[in-house]
Amino acid sequence: MRKKAKKGGGVAAVTEEAEAILRRLVDDTHLREAVQNLLDAVGLSDEPEPEPEPKKRRFGFGKIIVLAGLAGGGALAASQGLRTKVLDLLFGAEEEFEYTPPTPESTDGEASSTPLSAV
């Protein structure tokens, strides 16, 4: 280590030391490389770092599923025929039947037509 300049040296002594350091830095390639490596490691170098390439945006499988679900829900809300088809597929078709009420049996072969108020 160098000894500090004496108090009486002033600005002239500092500039002489700075000039000596700069001359050595300009002349010595090994020292220049070491300083450049140090500046690169710290992140203060003058050379710009290459910018990373932007990532390509993909549509994604999840977004496709959500979009299909929304489209299907909209179609079900808009179409009564589609709703019935989907419900028939999920729960089975509705059973259609004709209701015929039972007729009371009469002993003489005629249907009794007496009103309830008469009984």
Q: What is the pLDDT along the chain (119 residues), one digit of tens a residue?
A: 455 545 556 777 788 888 888 888 888 888 888 888 888 787 776 666 678 888 887 778 889 999 999 999 999 999 999 999 999 999 888 877 788 888 877 665 555 565 566 55
Give me the pLDDT at residue 77, please. 92
Q: How far is CA 104 from CA 20, 100, 112, 116, 117, in A?
A: 129, 12, 8, 14, 17
Would you state the structure tokens that stand for residue 36, as one six-digit string?
């450049």
Give me the pLDDT at residue 75, please. 93
Give me the pLDDT at residue 17, please. 87
At 5, phi and psi to the nearest 5?
-65, 150
Amino acid at 105: E
The rounded distance, in Å, linking the Cα atoms of 18 and 24 is 10
Give me the pLDDT at residue 109, please. 52
Q: Are 83 and 76 in contact (CB under 8 A)?
A: yes
